[in-house]
Amino acid sequence: MTTNRIAFQGEPGAYSHEACRAARPGMEALPCRTFEDVIEAVRAGEADLAMLPVENSTYGRVADIHHLLPESGLRIIDEAFVRVHISLLAVPGTTLDQVREAMSHTVLLGQCRGFLRRHDIHAVTGADTAGSAKEVASRGNPSLAALAAPLAAEIYGLDRLADQIEDRQNNTTRFLIMSRQADMSRRSDRMLTSFVFRVRNIPAALYKAMGGFATNGVNMTKLESYMVDGVFTATQFYADIEGHPDDANVARALDELGYFTSTLDVLGVYPADPLRESQRRGA
């Protein structure tokens, strides 16, 4: 059974909602309260896909998401890079000089310090970006604006007083699109494989485990560690590598990794987002 829905965390108009529209424009976006609710919506068949943010180029890893991925039972089928463009939103008819306060998530407020300072606008912490836009619309006070995605203006009937006001123009969030089933059939010039593993309790196990990727010419684009169940001695690693498990060099590297790990779980095989390559070139 298919629903043609893609689930995301947050209010309508959130950046995750914007990512859904950009990556899957033909699907209905389903808002969920938490990341766990997003995963459960897909597992329960209420949605076909999940859109989950994993890292931001300015603020790093999204908290707790790497704990959820291997436990979700879902598989990564795509990645989506979304540029974070921030707009100042206000009730219709408001002019920029009327705005005295701007509400948003604390992370977004920190990305617009220069603009707020230049216009003498005081930052007000809100629950999230789209929720702040919703709050501004409900209050109807022209002195209070919201910092959010342009999509939020469309949804909540607000005017965009200024666009792309973020301090860093290259601020980008990486999302993973997840499904109930893996898709190993696709091929492109740049494939990625994501997996989690735990090394065996032997000396230099991680060093030996990583050696197979170097000797087989496999590029590892990400390696992160995190504790399991709050125990300092139990560490799990999350990794992204370039290539497909059916590639001879990747197969050899993963086979060698298996000698030094107690668990190894491939989370997904998927094409690289085109923006990844442009960022590599410095575009």
- End-to-end, the C-alpha distance of the chain in Å comes to 41
Residue 227 and residue 200 in one domain: yes
Residue type, 230: G
Task: Give, as one character, the DSSP assignment of residue 244.
Answer: -
Instruction: Give the Cα separation of 277 and 279 in Å (integer).
Output: 5
Q: Tell me: do 102 and 214 sit in the same domain.
A: no
Amino acid at 189: D
pLDDT tens per residue across span 165-194: 999 888 889 999 999 999 888 888 899 999
Looking at residue 280, its pLDDT comes to 64
Average pLDDT along the chain:
91
CATH of residue 208's domain is 3.30.70.260
203 vs 248, more confident:
248
Q: Is residue 185 part of a domain?
A: no
Q: How, if at all, do strands 49-56 and 172-179 pair?
A: antiparallel
Instruction: Single out the residue of 251, 13, 2 nearest to residue 155, CA to CA.
Output: 13
Per-residue pLDDT band for 29 (boundaries 50, 70, 90) equals very high
Q: What is the dihedral of CA 196, 201, 206, 210, to 10 degrees?
A: -70
The tally of domains found in the chain comes to 3
Residue at 127 is within a domain: yes
Shared domain check, 175 and 41: yes
pLDDT, one tens digit per residue, over 69-102 is 888 999 999 999 999 899 999 999 999 999 999 9
Q: Percent of the chain, pLDDT > 70?
A: 95
| Measured distance CA(69)–CA(71) in Å, rounded | 6
Task: Report the 3 state secondary structure along 58-124.
Answer: CCEECCCHHHHHHHHCCEEEEEEEEECCCEEEECCCCCHHHCCEEEECHHHHHCCHHHHHHCCCEEE
Q: What pLDDT band is residue 269 in, cutting at 50, 70 and 90?
A: very high
Residues 140 and 212 placed together within one structural domain of the fold: no
Catalytic site positions: 173, 175
pLDDT at position 127 is: 82
pLDDT single digits (tens) 220-245: 999 988 777 666 665 789 999 999 99
CA distance 59 to 2: 35
Cα 184 from Cα 182, distance rounded (Å): 6
**What CATH number corresponds to the domain at position 158?**
3.40.190.10
Mean pLDDT across 94-119: 94
Task: Assess whether 56 and 175 both reside in one domain.
Answer: yes
Answer whether residue 278 shows pLDDT above 90.
no
Same domain, 136 and 175: no
Which residue range is the domain that position 20 belongs to?
5-84+171-179
pLDDT confidence band for 64 (50 / 70 / 90): confident
Q: How many CB atoms lie within 10 A of CB 177?
A: 21
| 206 plus 271 within the same structural domain | yes
pLDDT at residue 66, as a whole number: 77
Q: Helix (H) and strand (E) counts for the chain?
A: 10, 15
Question: Length of the chain, please?
Answer: 283
pLDDT recorded at residue 169: 82
- In this structure, is residue 186 part of a structural domain? no
pTM equals 0.89
End position of a domain, from candidates 179, 209, 240: 179
| Average confidence (pLDDT) over 151-178 | 94
> What's the CA gap between 160 and 77, in Å, rounded?
34
Instruction: Answer whether 149's CB lies under 8 Å from 14's CB.
Output: yes
Asked if pLDDT for residue 60 goes beyond 80, the answer is no
What is the DSSP annotation of 180-232? SS-------SSEEEEEEEEE-SSTTHHHHHHHHHHHTT--EEEEEEEEETTEE
